Structure 1
Amino acid sequence: MSLDRDIALLSRIPLFADLATEQLRLLAFSAVRLDLSPTQVLFREGATAMSGYVVAFGGIEMAVGLGEQRQVLTTCEAGSLIGETALFVETKRPATATAIVSCEVLEIDRKLVTRMLNEYPQVAVKLRATIAGRLAATVGDLGEVEQALGAIDDNPLKRSGSG
Structure 2
Amino acid sequence: MLLNEEVQLLRKVPYFCRVDPCKLKLLAFTSDRVCYEPGQYLFTQGDDSEAAYVILCGKVDLLTDSSNGEVKIGEAGCNSIIGEMCLLSNASQAVTARATTEVDALRITKDAFFKVIADNPRISMEISRTLAETIRGSRLSDMQHEKQHA
User: Could you say which residue in structure 2 is the equivalent of 1:2?
Assistant: 2
2-structure distance, mates of 1:141, 1:60: 20
Q: Give yes or no for the alignment of 1:130 onto 2:130.
A: no
User: Could you say which residue in structure 2 is the equivalent of 1:159?
Assistant: none
Which residues of structure 1 form unaligned runs of 5+? 156-163
Structure 1 residues 39 and 88, CA gap change in structure 2 (3 angstroms)? same
Shift of 1:67: 8.2
2-structure distance, mates of 1:100, 1:147: 30
Q: Is the deviation greater in 77-86 or in 23-32?
A: 77-86
Query: Where do 1:1-163 residues align within 5 Å?
Result: 1-65=1-65, 68-118=68-118, 120=119, 123-124=120-121, 126-137=122-133, 138=135, 142=139
1-structure distance, mates of 2:57, 2:15: 18
Structure 1 residues 22 and 86, CA gap change in structure 2 (3 angstroms)? farther
Identical residues among aligned pairs (%)? 24
Greater RCO, CA 8 A, separation 6+: 2
Task: Say how many residue pairs are matched.
Answer: 149
Q: Per the alignment, in what secondary structure is the counterpart of residue 7 of structure 1?
A: helix
Shift of 1:31: 0.7
Structure 1 residues 108 and 99, CA gap change in structure 2 (3 angstroms)? same
Shift of 1:87: 4.1
Letter in 2 for 1:78: C
Query: Which has the greater radius of gyration?
Result: 1
Which residues of structure 2 form unaligned runs of 5+? none
| TM, length-normalised to structure 1 | 0.77
Structure 1 residues 67 and 37, CA gap change in structure 2 (3 angstroms)? farther
Please report the RMSD computed on the Cα atoms of aligned residues, expressed in angstroms.
2.7
1-structure distance, mates of 2:81, 2:117: 18
Shift of 1:42: 1.0
